[in-house]
């Protein structure tokens, strides 16, 4: 008798407003990698003014957008702050890219207009910089692996002393172009500036998120290996690109 496979539940916040540079591809990658292993996948895409059930999703995704889109969702995200905190404290994973990453911190201060308040899930803040940081990025992770992606931001994010970066910048700018750090990780909360899309070209990171997310309701699950030859070719090709 085959053991029943778990269901992966994904909540894609602000899917229509925050989807710059193909960020939706991360949802496709999560869904497909779970489906290839025979798992069912359920996806919800709550819009502005909708409530979220903090006990439903295993993983939350927030994409990136321009200042205009960030302004539109910043106040709404405040309504979800308590629910998202509850969800992460009970084991749910959050992956946030660029503008979504900035709003996980304390605030984002643009060049013009009022400061946008974040939800303070991570100890970080962002201020608008004087130059746009655009190009290919390679990040060295603590386990010796790499992440590849594409950045396009002028915001400069600074981490609190106790908040770990996702990794160290080998190529590109990362969080602020100064300290050579990229992204942030606080247990099961991840923020990054890597677009392009991140997860299709970094299957090892996608599986890390899936494993963490499934553990919330199912305990530790060992994922069956997949044939990632095509994904790894894309990863190696991205490593060879110029910044």
User: How many Cβ atoms sit within 10 Å of the Cβ of residue 58?
Assistant: 27
Question: How open is the CA angle 37-64-55, to the nearest 5 degrees?
Answer: 55
Answer yes or no: are the C-beta atoms of 137 and 209 closer than 8 Å.
Answer: no
Q: How far is CA 10 from CA 38, 70, 122, in A?
A: 16, 21, 21
Our answer to whether residue 153 is catalytic in this structure is no
In the β-sheet with 184-186, what is the strand arrangement from edge to edge?
A: 40-44, 7-13, 59-62, 93-97, 189-192, 184-186
Cα distance between residue 48 and residue 62, in whole Å: 13
Q: Which of 11, 12, 98, 153 is catalytic?
A: 98
Cα distance between residue 166 and residue 133, in whole Å: 18
Cα distance between residue 185 and residue 88, in whole Å: 12
Read off the tokens for 208. 């890390």
Q: Which of 12, 80, 153, 195 is catalytic?
A: 195
Question: How open is the CA angle 169-162-219, to the nearest 5 degrees?
Answer: 90
Q: Is 155 helix (H, G, I), strand (E, B) or coil?
A: strand
Looking at the annotation, which residues are catalytic?
98, 195
């Amino acid at each position: 008798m085959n053991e029943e496979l778990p269901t992966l539940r994904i909540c894609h916040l602000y899917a229509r407003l925050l989807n710059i540079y193909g960020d939706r591809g991360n949802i496709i990658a999560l869904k497909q990698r779970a489906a290839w292993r025979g798992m069912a996948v359920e996806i919800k895409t709550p819009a502005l003014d909708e409530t979220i059930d903090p006990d439903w999703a295993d993983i939350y995704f927030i994409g990136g957008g321009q200042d205009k889109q960030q302004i539109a969702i910043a106040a709404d995200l405040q309504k979800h702050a308590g629910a998202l905190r509850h969800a992460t404290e009970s084991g749910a994973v959050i992956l946030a890219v660029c503008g979504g990453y900035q709003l996980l911190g304390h605030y984002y201060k643009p060049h013009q207009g009022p400061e946008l308040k974040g939800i303070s899930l991570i100890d970080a803040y962002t201020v608008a910089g004087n130059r746009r940081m655009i190009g290919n990025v390679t990040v060295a992770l603590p386990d010796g692996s790499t992440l590849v992606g594409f950045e396009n931001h002028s915001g400069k994010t600074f981490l609190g002393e106790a908040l770990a970066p996702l990794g160290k910048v080998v190529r590109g700018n990362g969080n602020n172009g100064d300290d050579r750090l990229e992204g942030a990780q606080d247990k099961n909360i991840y923020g990054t500036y890597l677009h392009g899309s991140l997860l299709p070209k970094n299957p090892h990171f996608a599986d890390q998120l899936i494993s963490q997310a499934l553990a919330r309701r199912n305990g530790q699950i060992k994922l069956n290996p997949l044939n990632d030859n095509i994904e790894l070719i894309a990863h190696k090709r991205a490593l060879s690109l110029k910044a």
